[in-house]
Amino acid sequence: MSDIIELEGLEFFAYHGFYDEEQKLGNRYSIDIRVEVNLQKAAKSDALADTVSYEQLYKIAASAMREPARLLETVAQRIIEAIYAQYPHIVACAVSVSKHNPPLGGVCAKARVTLCR
């Protein structure tokens, strides 16, 4: 059984979107990250080196948000790949990327994509 580290509701203003106008105007985005990892060693050692750093997860998400993409799927995949590159020992990772008030022609609080690897 794996242990879980989660960051919820990371918020960014970024320039993602299928339409050129979205990439010019920008929008608000939220990201949730869930990492499954064995934390038994960290729980005993009380050492940051034995866990997954919340701060590093945030920095990975922030870096991915700075590079415009057409699809939320692309943003989520970038985040997952960077997390696995830094923490190859994790068991699984899920990343949700939400766009606030997407341009759908009607009321929609958020559009969300979740990738699980």
**CA atoms of 15 and 12, how far apart (whole Å):** 10
Residue 16: CB partners within 8 Å, gap ≥ 6?
Answer: 22, 23, 27, 29, 65, 68, 69, 70, 71, 72, 75, 99
Contact 16, 77 (CB under 8 A): no
pLDDT at 51: 96
**CA atoms of 98 and 94, how far apart (whole Å):** 13
**Residue 1 reports pLDDT greater than 80:** no
Give whole-number Cα distances, 54 to 7, 48, 51, 79, 87, in Å. Answer: 7, 10, 9, 14, 12
Convert the pLDDT of each residue in 55-114 to its tens digit: 999 999 999 999 999 999 999 999 999 999 999 999 999 999 999 999 999 999 999 999
- SS3 percent helix, strand, coil of the chain, rounded to 5, is 35, 35, 30
Contact 16, 72 (CB under 8 A): yes
**44 catalytic residue (yes or no):** no
**Residue 6 reports pLDDT greater than 90:** yes
Assigned CATH topology for domain 3-116: GTP Cyclohydrolase I, domain 2 (3.30.1130)
Please pick, among 24, 41, 59, 99, the residue that the annotation labels catalytic.
99
Convert the pLDDT of each residue in 28-63 to its tens digit: 999 999 999 999 999 999 999 999 999 999 999 999
Question: In this structure, how many other beta carbons lie within 10 angstroms of the beta carbon of residue 21?
Answer: 9
**Residue 2 reports pLDDT greater than 80:** yes
